[in-house]
Amino acid sequence: MLWIKAFHIIFVVSWFAGLFYLPRIFVNLAMVPADSGAERARLLLMAKKLFRFITPLGVLAIGLGLWLWFGFGFTGGWLHAKTALVIGLAAYHVWCGMLLAEFASGRSTRTHVWFRFFNEVPVLALTIICILVVVKPF
């Protein structure tokens, strides 16, 4: 089980790196002037490649987390809270894909300020998850 736990942590860290950076690309995309097609195309390419790269990392992180859950059991309120946050992060990931599709089709109407706040969601989730896993407050 220690190998599973180690790889779970590796894939979680990798997934989070992408979840931190992808919305940052969205901030930059929202700031691109309308007449800057090359810059927009480059940022869209970066975002698409990053999304395709982090999706399997998220799947592996969640899959190994489920393996650990079935191996150790599902007990404690902290684990219920962590599971709810992970489900929220999976939804956030899907939402990022939808936002990327909006950018790609030219339909995005959100401002860079909105994306700056959106960018903080995984930071808050990671903070709470780490506290739940390490401290196990309930």
pLDDT of 88-117, one tens digit each?
A: 999 999 999 999 999 999 999 999 999 999
Domain boundaries, the chain: 2-135
Q: What is the pTM of this model?
A: 0.95
Q: Write out pLDDT tens, residues 33-52.
A: 989 999 999 999 999 999 99
Q: In the prediction, which pLDDT does 131 show?
A: 97
Q: What CA–CA distance (Å, rounded) separates 70 from 51?
A: 28
Q: In the prediction, which pLDDT does 117 show?
A: 98
